[in-house]
Amino acid sequence: MIRYIIRRLVATLPTLLGVSIIVFLFIHLIPGDPATSMLRENAPAELAERIREELGLNKPLYEQYLIYLLGNDTAAQLEYRVARLASPSVQPPVIKNPYRGILRGDLGRSLVTKDAIISELRQRFPATVELAIAAILVAISVGIPAGIVSAVRRNSVIDTAAMIMSLIGVSMPIYWLGMMALMLFAVILHLVPVGTRMGVDVNLRHITNFYILDSIITGNWAALGDVLRHLIVPACVLGTVPMAIMARMTRSSMLEALNQDYIRTAHAKGLQARVVVLRHALKNALLPVITVIGLETGYLFSGAILTESIFAWPGVGRWMYESIIYRDYPVIQGVTLMIAVIFVVVNLLVDLSYAVIDPRIRYQ
């Protein structure tokens, strides 16, 4: 098992390198640049050119990528050594603002705010984690039971209603659903607050930046209630599509399992229907469902851009949206690389969970 995990982790390194190259090329090929985004509309062209020079945006793409990958000190040293081959009198470079590069754990600084990206991630990632976990819990707690009931009562009114609702959930545009939910529950019914993670009048001592966990640790139950009231609607909206997919996948897997010979044997032994469905059929139908849960969890953890933007949720998804608008290249690259790492880790955990669910599976 340990050998398998090590092989999988080593195999992800070329994947992450390829992701960094593709993202770097794509965001540099789209129209616009940070210099023009940071200036007003009638700003002189000389000022924009000066900003490009300060940010290193006027250098060739390969040199910009080497700086992003290795750091400006290492890239400058490589350039210096190549230049010395042609002219030994070339002076060594002087690095004023050292940047170590992603291979040494430095994601750089935002071109807009000048803050370190890793520090900003520590502030924003907990918000996305809380929202993603809440959304996946909503999806699992509703989608899997709905799929089980639909499979057990196949072609019934319940089955038809559940499948129609799941089809609507898959087809519903998330931005429209988010705006309608915000309008209904926050503006019309006044049941939940509008946007953000917590009310401005609520005091909470931040320890981990996970507001739910901080509320429990400090025993601040008023803050916990306020945080949950802010969380419930965005989590339900974000969990709608995964919930519908899980319901349909669970139904399909359960129907296949319920038609197997061992299910008929279990019924012939006189076992209760509940025991046959939950202990025998569901356990053998879980593998494809677990795969869907893993994939959807990766998507949710990577930051739901539309949901976080609609509900003013200060997470990674909203940060990514704002960075794309302002062409903040280091933030886009850093967040995308983090998303790739999340998908790799989630897929690895899903693969390892197969052996726990099905003892016949062994990793060599």
- DSSP characters over 284-321: HHHHHHHHHHHHHHHHHHT--HHHHHHTT--SHHHHHH
Write down the pLDDT at residue 228.
92
Q: Rounded to the nearest 5 degrees, what angle is found at the Cα of 108, between the Cα atoms of 107 and 113? A: 125
Closest by Cα among 321, 310, 318, 319 to 186: 310
pTM for this prediction:
0.83
Single-letter residue type at 185: F
Tens digit of each residue's pLDDT (9 = 90 or more) over 280-320: 888 888 888 888 888 888 888 766 788 888 888 888 988 88
Q: Which band of pLDDT confidence, cut at 50, 70 and 90, is reported for residue 147?
A: very high
For the chain, which residues make up each domain, given as ranges?
Answer: 31-104, 117-357
Structure tokens at 183: 């309008």
Q: In terms of pLDDT, which residue wins out, 362 or 347? A: 347
Closest by Cα among 94, 105, 33 to 69: 105
At the topology level of CATH, where does 117-357 sit?
A: MetI-like fold (1.10.3720)
Write down the pLDDT at residue 277.
87
Write down the pLDDT at residue 327.
78
Beta bridge partners of 347: none
Write down the pLDDT at residue 290.
87
Structure tokens at 83: 């230049």
Length of the chain (residues): 364
- Using CA atoms, how far apart are residues 106 and 97, in angstroms rounded to an integer? 13
Q: In terms of pLDDT, which residue wins out, 329 or 94? A: 329
